[in-house]
Amino acid sequence: MRLLIYWVISAIALIVSAYIAAAVGFRITLDFNPWWKIMLGTLVLGLVNATIGRFLKIIVTPLACLTLGLAWLLVNALLFYIVGQIGDPTDSPMGFYVGDFWAAIAGSLLMGLVLGALRKLTEDDDRPS
């Protein structure tokens, strides 16, 4: 059940971050027709982050120490860009399309912030401190 809730929260974070990035002027488009495209895009993004992202973050760890974590932001943006480039802008099978790498940086940074805030709101309070 927790995995399903996290999946829905991640999809909401993707939608909110894409709307914010598009409002600021970055080229990220969403496709809700049908609605499950966003869920598929969130699932693929999560799987790519869990597999390729984990491997890349291990490799980039020394550079991330030197850049105070900036290298990890670039790895996240790269993975966001790769998943967002699947398909074309008008009919993306992932439910979202990322226009360029700057949009991927903004989208991944915003998604991380929104996802962190949403997870904090849905956290269980009965865990020991």
Per-residue pLDDT, averaged over 24-35, amounts to 89
Helix (H) or strand (E) holding 39: helix 36-48
For 91-122, write each residue's pLDDT tens digit.
Answer: 788 889 999 999 999 999 999 999 999 989 88
Backbone angles phi, psi at 94, to 5 degrees: -90, -5
For 39-65, write each residue's pLDDT tens digit.
Answer: 999 999 999 999 999 999 999 999 999
Return the residue matching tokens 């709307």: 19
Return the domain boundaries, the chain.
2-121
Backbone angles phi, psi at 82, to 5 degrees: -60, -45
Token duo for residue 117: 């805030």
Q: Do 41 and 112 touch, CB atoms closer than 8 A?
A: no
For 6-18, write each residue's pLDDT tens digit.
Answer: 999 999 999 999 9
> Residue 29 carries which side chain, given as an amino acid letter?
T
